[in-house]
Amino acid sequence: MIRLTNLADYAVVLMVEVARSDVRVNAQSLAEASRMPVTTVSKILNALSRADLLTSHRGLKGGFSLTRGTDTISLADIVEAIDGPIALTNCSDTSSNDCCYDSFCQVRPHWQHINTAIRTALDTVKLKDVMAPPAPGTFAPAMFEAMPAAGQPAPNTPDSDDGVENGAAGPR
């Protein structure tokens, strides 16, 4: 399963909170709003500032604000600010040669193309898109069937014991 790190996920949540605020926000207020530890929030805010996604303002009315509009900040920008370049495998990094299959791997040349496709997909989703509630009827939670116990046939298969084959009722 391909999965973002928790920090990248939290960074998106914090960027949405900053974008929704009419005033500069500080780490303490973001921690309260997001129910994250202040130390985690501070770490993420600093990384987002270093990536030039947030501006840090000092002083009495200090805090953080977006450096640019929500229509120009992408999820790819946020993820890369926290996790670095998007790469699905270690060998995707051209400077890394620690794979024992590197000298004869026929797939390695294709990973960069795959990484680019994923980055492009994340780049099309802007911060403004994740700020808005989903339109009615566009969000449907994924439906998953229960996984069979080890050694048990999956439901609705010819080997199952429920009298149903491939989803259709029939005689035994």
Q: Where are the domains of the chain?
A: 6-131
| Average pLDDT value for residue range 140-164 | 48
Q: Name the one residue in this structure whose structure tokens are 């270093």.
A: 50
CB contact at 8 A, 8 and 28: no
pLDDT of residue 93: 63
pTM over 0.85: no
Q: Which two tokens stand for residue 12?
A: 């998106």
CB 67: neighbour CB atoms within 10 A? 14
Residue 124: partners with Cβ closer than 8 Å, 6 or more residues away: 74
pLDDT of residue 171: 42
pLDDT of residue 88: 81
The per-residue pLDDT for range 91-116, each reduced to its tens digit, is: 766 565 677 777 787 887 788 888 88
Torsion of CA 67, 72, 77, 82, to 10 degrees: 40
Rounded CA Rg of the chain: 23
Q: Name the one residue in this structure whose structure tokens are 């609705």.
A: 156
- Which residue did the predictor score with more confidence, 69 or 115? 69
Phi, then psi, of 126 in degrees rounded to 5? -95, 160
Lowest mean pLDDT among 38-52, 63-77, 127-141: 127-141
pLDDT of residue 2: 76
Residue 142 has pLDDT above 70, yes or no: no
Q: Which long-range contacts (CB under 8 A, 24 or more apart) does 163-167 make?
A: none
Report the percent of the chain where pLDDT is more than 70: 75
Tell me which architecture the domain covering 6-131 has in CATH.
Orthogonal Bundle (1.10)
pLDDT of residue 136: 76
